[in-house]
């Protein structure tokens, strides 16, 4: 009996997510700098497949990840867990700077 109650409670909690899961909840993000706009392009090319729109997908959500920029750079370069490393041959230094600027701006506006 306790197992049945646990499974029922688990099923109820699993259905308690937002109805518009994955859809934008607010106004579209307006990127203030050309660097952040370039970073959005880098994100769409290399990151969006696993972090769609910055939300959880194959990888965890990164829109609200409380890492400072230098740790985000480290994670991109070194990889972590199932995330592959993106060396300078895949994402150049200028593109990585733009990507970090984009991620920080998304987090500020999220």
pLDDT digits (tens, 9 = 90+) for 54-103: 889 988 888 888 889 999 999 999 998 889 999 999 999 999 999 999 99
Q: pTM above 0.75?
A: no
Contact 42, 62 (CB under 8 A): no
- E strands along the chain, which residues? none
Instruction: Give the domain extent around 35.
Output: 30-109
Residue 3's alpha-carbon distances to 7, 11, 15, 23, 75, in angstroms, are 6, 12, 19, 35, 40
Phi/psi zone of residue 19: left (φ > 0), alpha (ψ -120 to 50 degrees), beta? alpha
Q: Tokens in use for 23?
A: 């859809």
**Any idea what the CATH number is for the domain that residue 91 is in?**
1.10.760.10
Domain count, the chain: 1
Does some domain include residue 99?
yes
Q: Measured between alpha carbons, how far is residue 59 from residues 9, 22, 85, 89, 101 in Å?
A: 27, 14, 14, 22, 20
> Would residue 22 count as lying in a domain?
no
Give me the pLDDT at residue 80, please. Answer: 87
Looking at residue 73, its pLDDT comes to 95
Q: What per-residue confidence (pLDDT) applies to 51?
A: 93
Q: Considering the domain boundaries, does residue 9 fall inside one?
A: no
* 53 is a domain residue: yes
Rounded mean pLDDT, 34-41: 95
Cα 25–Cα 28–Cα 30 angle in degrees, nearest 5 = 145
104 in any annotated domain: yes
């Amino acid at each position: 009996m306790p197992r049945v109650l646990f499974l029922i409670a688990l099923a109820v909690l699993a259905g308690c997510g937002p109805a518009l899961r994955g859809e934008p909840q607010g106004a579209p993000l307006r990127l203030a700098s050309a660097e952040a706009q370039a970073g959005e392009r880098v994100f769409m090319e290399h990151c969006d497949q696993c972090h769609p729109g910055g939300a959880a997908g194959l990888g965890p959500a990164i829109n609200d990840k409380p890492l400072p920029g230098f740790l985000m750079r480290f994670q991109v370069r070194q990889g972590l867990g199932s995330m592959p490393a993106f060396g300078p041959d895949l994402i150049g230094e200028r593109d990585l700077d733009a990507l970090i600027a984009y991620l920080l701006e998304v987090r500020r506006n999220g």
